[in-house]
């Protein structure tokens, strides 16, 4: 039977970061990926963050296939007719060392896969890992779907992404995945010439921006719409909590169509030709939905471990860092008595010390909070835009009176007491 020291399931950022770290340290490691190349199955929006990526791949941006450096992030709060917009642009983001890039994961992951192979790991694509092999209560390898497909390993890292069948099968995620822990994201890639993109979004040549859209963008459901600028395409999509879609009996595709036709969005997309359409899940359950992260001979990283910070649209960076920390845990314990469960619990400690679990802990109540307080996606965007409209309409009404009127509008929709409560709670879960 084939044998490796470490087997990794999944060649997304988590699995590749783990493989790269292990291979560089001389460990015999094999990565199994079901797609025909790394990233083939991925559709991340996608913004890739420079600093965490460099933790694994120093200087990657000099050779990796990237779309545009993100120099501006915008937030649009939509109602049916209006858009309240907010943004931050910095010249510091336009040059080295950069902050973030838009990417196509199918290209980036493929490149990353090559780096992993150059580092000495074996990357086996078009091969599904169907099961873990157990002996005497510990994991001793994996079973792939290929003829003669069993492989022995001393340790296995599950980096299988959000649809974490093996993690669940191993009993690490009790109760399976729930609809309130998952968002459905749909995304379209629309082709538009470079110059048009730069013109419409007010960008200098080669630079990029991101727009996140709230409120009416998701028909008031918990979630977010997005528009990202690539080289000669736009990525446009929405991500909405699955439980909300189910409750409202809506199809995510209709939500996206609705967003694309919003009066403030439409003109940015006019004439762009659809190139591809994709749908995917995002784990949005946060801290409370994190499975047990280790077992005997077993570690879980990335989306499989539900390590996504939905509030900040961060996922790939948590995947990269958790993959790296999983690998470093293995490197530490391999000389100290091996890959048994107690030793592997150090992985959790490492994650606790890093931003990964600190951030997720900080926001641990947000999913539940927004799930139970839909007014933040429905009422408040409307109130905000009513207030803005009132304030900006020049009609010879004295400003003081305008302010009074705005306050009246607001309190007629939500009592002062409730407002105070909402603000206080929002501060508590986000602050």
Where on the chain is the footprint of other proteins (CB under 8 A)?
A: 2, 30, 37, 65, 104, 107, 110, 117, 122-124, 127, 144, 146-149, 151, 191, 193, 275
* The binder of ligand FAD chosen from 6, 7, 8, 11 (CB under 6 A): 11
Nearer to other proteins, 65 or 374 (CB): 65
Q: How far is the CB of 84 from ligand FAD (least distance, A)?
A: 22
Per-residue exposure over 203-222, b if at least 16 CB sit within 10 Å of its own CB, e if not: beeebbbbbbbbbbbbbbbb
Residue listed under structure tokens 């990796």: 64
Please state, in angstroms and rounded to a whole number, the distance separating the CA atoms of residues 133 and 280.
Answer: 28
Asked if 185 is part of the footprint of ligand FAD (rule: CB under 6 A), the reply reads yes
Nearer to other proteins, 149 or 374 (CB): 149
Binding partner of residue 34 among other proteins, ligand FAD, none, CB under 5 to 8 Å per kind?
ligand FAD
Binding partner of residue 237 among other proteins, ligand FAD, none, CB under 5 to 8 Å per kind?
ligand FAD
Tokens (6 digits) for 283:
């784990």
Asked if 139 is part of the footprint of ligand FAD (rule: CB under 6 A), the reply reads no
Nearer to other proteins, 41 or 262 (CB): 41
Are 157 and 323 in contact by the 8 Å Cβ rule? The answer is: yes
Q: How far is the CB of 38 from ligand FAD (least distance, A)?
A: 6
Nearer to other proteins, 107 or 389 (CB): 107
Instruction: Report the C-alpha dihedral over residues 142, 127, 290, 4, rounded to 10 degrees.
Output: 40
40, with CB counted inside 10 A (0-12, 13-18, 19+), is: middle
Are 161 and 243 in contact by the 8 Å Cβ rule? The answer is: no
Are 277 and 187 in contact by the 8 Å Cβ rule? The answer is: yes
Q: What does R_g of the chain's alpha carbons equal in angstroms?
A: 23
Q: How far is the CB of 121 from other proteins (least distance, A)?
A: 10
Please, which residues have CB within 8 angstroms of residue 23's CB and are 6 or more apart in sequence? 29, 116, 119, 120, 121
Asked if 269 is part of the footprint of ligand FAD (rule: CB under 6 A), the reply reads no
Asked if 14 is part of the footprint of ligand FAD (rule: CB under 6 A), the reply reads yes
Q: Which stretch binds ligand FAD (CB under 6 A): 86-94, 154-162, 190-198, 254-262?
A: 154-162
Q: How far is the CB of 271 from other proteins (least distance, A)?
A: 10
| Structure letter (DSSP) for residue 272 | P
Asked if 316 is part of the footprint of ligand FAD (rule: CB under 6 A), the reply reads yes
């Amino acid at each position: 039977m084939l044998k490796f020291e470490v087997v990794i399931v999944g060649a997304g950022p988590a699995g590749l970061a783990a493989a790269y770290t292990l291979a560089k340290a001389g460990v015999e490691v094999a990565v199994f990926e079901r797609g025909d190349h790394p990233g083939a199955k991925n559709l991340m929006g996608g913004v890739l963050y420079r600093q965490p990526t460099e933790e694994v791949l120093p200087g990657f941006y000099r050779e990796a296939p990237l779309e545009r450096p993100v120099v501006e992030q915008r937030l649009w709060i939509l109602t049916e007719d209006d858009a309240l917009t907010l943004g931050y642009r910095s010249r510091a983001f336009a040059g080295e060392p950069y902050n973030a890039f838009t990417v196509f994961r199918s290209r980036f992951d493929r490149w990353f896969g090559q780096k992993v192979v150059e580092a000495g790991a074996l990357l086996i694509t078009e091969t599904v890992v169907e099961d873990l092999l157990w002996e005497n209560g510990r994991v001793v390898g994996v079973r792939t779907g290929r003829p003669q497909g069993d492989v022995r390993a001393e340790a296995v890292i599950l980096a299988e992404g959000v649809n974490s069948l093996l993690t669940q099968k191993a009993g690490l995620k009790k109760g399976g995945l729930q609809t309130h822990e998952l968002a459905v994201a749909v995304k379209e890639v629309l082709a538009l010439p470079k110059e048009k993109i730069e013109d419409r979004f007010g960008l200098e040549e080669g630079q990029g921006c991101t727009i996140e859209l709230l409120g009416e963008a998701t028909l008031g459901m918990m979630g977010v719409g997005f528009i990202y600028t690539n080289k000669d395409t736009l990525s446009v999509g929405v991500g909405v909590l699955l439980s909300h879609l189910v409750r409202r009996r809506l199809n995510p595709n209709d939500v996206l169509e609705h967003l694309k036709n919003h009066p403030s969005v439409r003109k940015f997309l006019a004439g762009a030709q659809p190139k591809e359409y994709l749908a995917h899940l995002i784990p949005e359950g946060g801290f409370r939905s994190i499975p047990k992260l280790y077992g005997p001979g077993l570690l879980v990283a990335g989306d499989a471990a539900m390590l996504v910070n939905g509030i900040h649209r961060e996922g790939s960076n948590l995947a990269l860092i958790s993959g790296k920390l999983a690998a470093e845990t293995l490197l530490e314990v391999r000389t100290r008595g091996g890959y048994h469960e107690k030793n592997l619990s150090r992985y959790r400690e490492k994650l606790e010390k890093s931003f990964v679990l600190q951030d997720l802990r900080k926001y641990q109540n947000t999913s539940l909070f927004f799930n139970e307080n839909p007014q933040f996606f429905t009422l408040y965007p409307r109130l905000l835009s009513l207030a803005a409209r009132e304030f900006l309409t020049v009609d010879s009404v004295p400003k003081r009176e305008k302010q009074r009127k705005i306050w009246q509008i607001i309190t007629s929709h939500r009592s002062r007491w409730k407002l105070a409560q909402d603000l206080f709670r929002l501060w508590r879960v986000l602050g």
